Amino acid sequence: MGQTGNTQDETLQRFETALGELEGHLTAVFAEDSGENPAVLKEQVKSLTDERDRLSAELEAERARARRLKAANEEVSGRLDDVMGTLKEMTPAMPG
């Protein structure tokens, strides 16, 4: 599960970075003394918004994958517990 956690952390970090950049550009757009070209700023905002949306979808996919892995792990653990119980029942008691 460590690998999934790292991937989620990396995706979340990229999402937060893109969001921070978007907020910075939006601040520049609405600043009264902004000397930047509005068309360039709009393109940057669009690009960053697209990146945010892509990262958000990627993060959700990773979360769904983590949920599936957790469910599979729980099922395997349950099956192993059942097998261990059956083996204990089948094994004669050792005098001790």
Per domain, the residue ranges of the chain are 2-88
Q: Which residues contact 51 (CB under 8 A, 6 or more apart)?
A: 18
pLDDT of residue 35: 66
Burial of 8 (C-beta count, 10 Å sphere; 0-12/13-18/19+): middle
Q: CA 54, 55, 58: angle at the middle one, nearest 5?
A: 90
pTM: 0.53
Tens digits of pLDDT across the chain (96 residues):
456 667 888 888 888 888 888 888 777 777 755 566 778 778 888 888 898 898 889 999 999 999 999 999 999 999 999 999 998 888 876 665
pLDDT of residue 70: 96
pLDDT of residue 14: 85
Burial of 48 (C-beta count, 10 Å sphere; 0-12/13-18/19+): buried
CA distance 81 to 87: 10
Phi then psi for residue 35, to 5 deg, are -95, 5
